[in-house]
């Protein structure tokens, strides 16, 4: 596995001046980001199908992994609810070692095939669900077993690995290879491989949310308004989308308990019940709802042809 190789270039790394060590580490991070480019078509395909699978009301998004890869999955998934309003009950972390492993290493947990299978069966993963498995080596027994079992049960599966011909990539519906090669410190996959995995998840999960209508005109219209900063941001979004005054935006948001989508529709003249019905009719998609009102994304102007 290339991620385990010792690079001759860094054999005497510990004798180098600090500035040279930092430069080598920095260049490794740049290389990790560059390695993602070749995977973009695979990421797009996975994101499109995953969004379709999750567009209903019951499907869950599951992150499966161990160690660094598992914790990267936890970081990505935990940000989807506040950022995009993804329901927490439709988010699951299948991490080797359980919740304890979110914060600290659990020895030998990643080697258990039985635990990987059990976590999928225990949570009744099935055809409505999407499982994203991450492993730098692509051979972690827990992760490979979990993704394989999820696929057997009909779930849509995505595998993200940093080595070619990895078992994880062979058992999933959408294999995503990010070939980051040898690490500056041999086997320390929290570095290049980990960075590349986080970039892939940033792109993948965001694309899924965009395709499911949880982003409108570059804005986080499904975000949860939980503090003063986000209240100001939500008021600015409603005012910008509809062209209404700041006070009207604040009033609409108060009436909708901070729901930017409903507030925007109300600011354009609908009642709360009308806005709720319209948004529900369009599956929560603000763009589709505003199109029904004959409005575009910017400042409540009538729709214009782009032809």
Residues annotated catalytic, as ranges: 79, 110
Taking the C-alpha atoms of residue 159 and residue 240, their distance in angstroms, rounded to an integer, is 39
Residues with Cβ within 8 Å of 130's Cβ and at least 6 positions away in sequence, in order, are 50, 53, 54, 59, 60, 61, 62, 155, 156, 157, 158
Tokens encoding 184: 């500056």
- Tokens encoding 270: 């609908």
- d(CA 216, CA 162) in angstroms, rounded, equals 33
Per the document, the length of the chain is 307
Q: What are the angstrom distances between the C-alpha of 252 and each of 92, 170, 244, 291?
A: 33, 50, 10, 20
Residue 211, number of CB atoms within 10 A of its CB: 17
- Counting other chains too, the contacts that 28-32 makes at CB distance below 8 Å and 24 or more residues apart are 28/183, 28/184, 28/191, 28/192, 29/191, 29/192, 29/195, 31/180, 31/181, 31/192, 32/178, 32/180, 32/191, 32/192, 32/193, 32/195, 32/196, 32/199
Selection from 17, 1, 27 nearest residue 184 by Cα: 27
Q: Which residues pair with 276 in a beta bridge?
A: none
- CA-CA-CA-CA torsion sign (181, 185, 188, 192): negative
């Amino acid at each position: 596995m290339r991620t385990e190789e010792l690079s001759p270039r860094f054999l005497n790394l510990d004798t180098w001046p600090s500035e040279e060590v930092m430069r080598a580490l920095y260049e490794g991070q740049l290389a990790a980001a560059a390695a993602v480019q070749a995977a973009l078509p695979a990421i797009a395909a996975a994101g499109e199908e995953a969004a379709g699978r999750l567009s209903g009301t019951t499907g869950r998004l599951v992150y499966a992994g161990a160690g660094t890869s598992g914790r990267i999955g936890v970081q990505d998934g935990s940000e989807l609810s506040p950022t995009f309003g993804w329901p927490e009950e439709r988010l699951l972390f299948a991490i080797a070692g359980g919740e304890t492993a979110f914060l600290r290493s659990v020895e030998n947990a990643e080697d258990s095939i039985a635990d990987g299978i059990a976590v999928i069966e225990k949570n009744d993963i099935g055809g409505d669900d999407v499982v994203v498995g991450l492993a730098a080596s692509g051979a972690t027994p827990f992760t490979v077993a979990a993704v394989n079992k999820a696929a057997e049960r009909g779930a849509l599966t995505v595998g993200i690995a940093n080595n070619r011909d990895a078992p994880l990539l062979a058992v999933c519906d959408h294999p995503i290879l990010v070939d980051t090669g040898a690490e500056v410190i041999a086997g320390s996959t929290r570095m290049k491989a980990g960075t590349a995995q986080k970039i892939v998840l940033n792109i993948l999960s965001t694309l899924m949310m965009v395709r499911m209508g949880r982003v409108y005109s570059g804005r986080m219209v499904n975000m949860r308004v939980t503090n003063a900063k986000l209240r100001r941001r939500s008021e600015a979004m409603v005012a910008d989308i509809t062209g209404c005054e700041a006070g009207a935006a604040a009033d609409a948001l108060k009436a909708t308990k901070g729901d930017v989508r409903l507030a925007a529709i109300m600011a354009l003249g609908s009642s709360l019940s009308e806005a709720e019905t319209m948004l529900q009719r369009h599956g929560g998609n603000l763009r589709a709802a505003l199109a029904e009102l004959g409005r575009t994304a910017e400042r409540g102007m009538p729709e214009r042809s782009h032809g």
